[in-house]
Structure 1
Amino acid sequence: MDTTRPKEKEREYWLDLLRFIAIFMVICIHCADPFNISPEARANPEYNFWGSLYGAFLRPCVPLFVMITGALLLPIKENTGAFYKKRLSRILIPFLIWSILYNCYPLLTGMLGLDPAVVSETFAYAGPHPSQSLEDTIARLVAIIVSFNAYTVHLWYIFMLAGLYLYMPYLTAWIEKADRFQYKIYGAFWAATLFLPYAFRFTAPDILGRSAWNSFDTFYYFAGFNGYLFLGYCVKKYPLALNTATRYILCAALFSTGYLITYLGFRYMTANPGSTENDVELFFLYCSPQVALMTLAVILFIKPVKIRSKTVRKYLARTTQYGLGIYLCHYFVVGLGYAISQKLSIPVSVRIPFTALVVFAISWIVVHLFYKATPRYARWIFG
């Protein structure tokens, strides 16, 4: 989740709407984990179908957040030191607090005499026999500044976001000096890197200079989420002059093409018993051509939307304020949301979005109550 909060007089509400969509999509993805993670779930035709259907549809969520960050922050106006202090403290302190809470949860359940199955029901990646020992808890806590684990799997995003923040002052320096031709060249090279995971998987892993002693291929230096940062900046600075019909046709074509490739590729990989974890994730990669097409379609579709309702604007702005907090705490609630869905016998076809609605509502209320009760401390807990 990006952590920018535009001032009211400068607010662009289409970005608030886009952020709300992205937050909900992220929660949906995590609510789809019980459908996609275990071999047993993937072997269930109904779970496999709906997990693949929703999972493929939701892939633009993280690229959308990165594009929003680029649209709002690039080019950076502060000096590098001030930018680092403001942005990194905003995410790292809540990151440390929630990392400790998540990693101590198994130990706490053990101290309360609860069965380890409670941990597995809370965290989809915990496995059937999670450890509740003090020793394993300490080992996880020691490692939190360099890695995530089954209890903090969603916090991979914070590591990536911190890297983008470190990189942004240098991207800004280039943006301010480069011309539109250089922008196009950079974008073309970045687009080429999106195809590399498939080249490495389906041709040979050691091409373009990659080898056992070198991980940095020819196009490595143009790769990664920094491309989405730059794309977000470009979409805002150079809006496409399209009439409504052309825009919607273009968005439909981009999204449907990306979606079909993502869905069919993921189904193909999960249908193969010999697929590795990397194979299963191949068509779900955020930095891939089909996901980039879907992401661009969503942002082009939402950009011209005008939001005139003051009530809707208010709650979209509030969700923007709470966004990072919702992201940090929602993973505690996913297991509960899924249990509620099962208890209510929600059909499998709509269980993922229903669970996401429950998780989003609970998380939003929790963050809202904290901000109301203690706004001074809530900012450091929830970002």
Structure 2
Amino acid sequence: MLEKIKQIFIGNKNIKNRKIYIDDLRVIATVFVIGVHTVSLAASMTEYGSIAFRVLTIFNYIFLSCNLLFVMLSGALLLPVKNEPAGIFFRKRFTKVAIPLVVYYILYVVAKEGIDWLKPDHWFLMLKRILTGAPVEAPHFWLVYVIIWLYVLTPFIRYIVHNIPDNVLSGVIGVIFIICTLDTYLPLFGVKSVFGIVVDSFAGTFLFGYFLAEKCSRKMENVFLMAGFLAFLETCMWIWNGNNYVDYIYQNSPTMMAFSAAIFILVKRLAVQKTKNSFFVQWISRYSYSILLIHWGVLHFVVKQKLHVDVLSGGIAGGCIVMMVLTLFISAFGAMILDNTLLKWLQIPFSRKKK
């Protein structure tokens, strides 16, 4: 009985050649995504330009690396796989991302707008909304749509990375940084960037995750660690001095790319001697995707409205920590329940093994 309960929490973690640091990064990205929505809420309730606002904005920058980390992790996990037919990939892996998105999308809409959306005469409109993009009830779903798009591209990108020399791949990573730099800073000189569509697709970040996990040399890792540290210092300076920084430090800006890469490499190195993760890390890692989907509703409805947690109570630290911890654990339990009931049943037709 206890073994069955343990398996529900952490699943089968004895997979051959499992990379321990991937679980660590998943947990960090999951905590960060909750953190960014917590501190951004707190920042919106403080005076613009105050010390509290600037401190919260720095933490917002740190936590916002979660977006790149999630995309990098997807690349690190999916692109190294060889000899997997596209049909099997889409049946087994793509559906594990798409089905939860649809389920949680419907739950958010129904929770906000009513149960009428479950009636057959609303199904076409619901499908249209899902195909349109993230709902207003769950704006954070934009990242999930990006990840799903990258899943669509995965078989094609796999073919490329498995058939080009390592030195060419290193050159591609360099080009990715150049494109991201031009897209970020050309507007400073009054030049409209033509690279936005390429950069916003996050395909470069996806490939970057594979590079960091599989092909990055020790020397290059050191370069990224130093670049990430300098990028963080520079960004903190911009924020603290109140510069017009919003368009130049987030998402695929070179500073955020370097900072996220430094986190990735640092966690990878720190985990090199580890053979097993803690129960907590295994638990949060297993349900990280569903936590990403459910946490917005838990934070804003359960924790904020029902539990009446004030994000600024106890100073800017106390309320934020309480809100983050409650959101993480409530989301983890909610994700675990849905993953092992509704989502598990819906995925059965796509997980049948060939006889």
- Smaller-chain TM-score range? 0.7 to 0.9
Q: Is 2:88 the partner of 1:82?
A: yes
Q: Is 2:283 the partner of 1:318?
A: yes
SS in 1 for 2:131: coil
Instruction: Percent identity, please.
Output: 19
| Structure 1 residues not aligned, in runs of 5+ | 112-135, 211-216, 273-278
Q: Is 2:2 the partner of 1:25?
A: no
Higher helix share: 2
Instruction: Write out aligned runs for 1:1-383 (5 A).
Output: 8-36=15-43, 38=44, 41=46, 43=48, 45-77=50-82, 78-108=84-114, 142-206=128-192, 210=194, 217=195, 224-241=201-218, 251=225, 253-266=226-239, 280=246, 282-306=247-271, 308=274, 312-335=277-300, 336-338=302-304, 340-342=308-310, 345-370=313-338, 376-377=344-345
1:134-178 deviation per Cα after TM superposition (whole angstroms, max 9, x unaligned): xx9997774222222331111101110111111111111111221
Cα shift at 1:337:
3.0
Q: In structure 2, what is the Cα distance between the partners aligned to 1:74 and 1:319? A: 23
Q: In structure 1, what is the Cα distance between the partners aligned to 2:174 and 2:228? A: 20
Q: In structure 2, what is the Cα distance between the partners aligned to 1:345 and 1:221? A: 42
| Structure 2 residues not aligned, in runs of 5+ | 1-11, 117-121
Using structure 1 for the length normalisation, give the TM-score. 0.73
Distance 1:106 1:375, change over 3 A: closer
1:282-302 deviation per Cα after TM superposition (whole angstroms, max 9, x unaligned): 134321100111111111111
Q: In structure 1, what is the Cα distance between the partners aligned to 2:78 and 2:123? A: 37
Using structure 2 for the length normalisation, give the TM-score. 0.78
Contact 1:186 / 1:222 at 8 angstroms: preserved in 2? no
Q: Which amino acid aligns with 2:292?
A: Y
Distance 1:308 1:173, change over 3 A: closer
* Farther-moved stretch of structure 1 (12-21 vs 340-349): 340-349
Q: In structure 1, what is the Cα distance between the partners aligned to 2:184 and 2:312? A: 41
Q: In structure 2, what is the Cα distance between the partners aligned to 1:378 and 1:353? A: 35
Match of 2:119 in 1: none
Cα shift at 1:325:
1.2
Q: In structure 2, what is the Cα distance between the partners aligned to 1:299 and 1:86? A: 27
Q: In structure 2, what is the Cα distance between the partners aligned to 1:53 and 1:285? A: 11
Distance 1:343 1:182, change over 3 A: closer
Distance 1:145 1:42, change over 3 A: farther
Distance 1:137 1:174, change over 3 A: closer
- Size of the aligned set, in residue pairs, is 327
SS in 1 for 2:297: coil
Contact 2:312 / 2:320 at 8 angstroms: preserved in 1? no
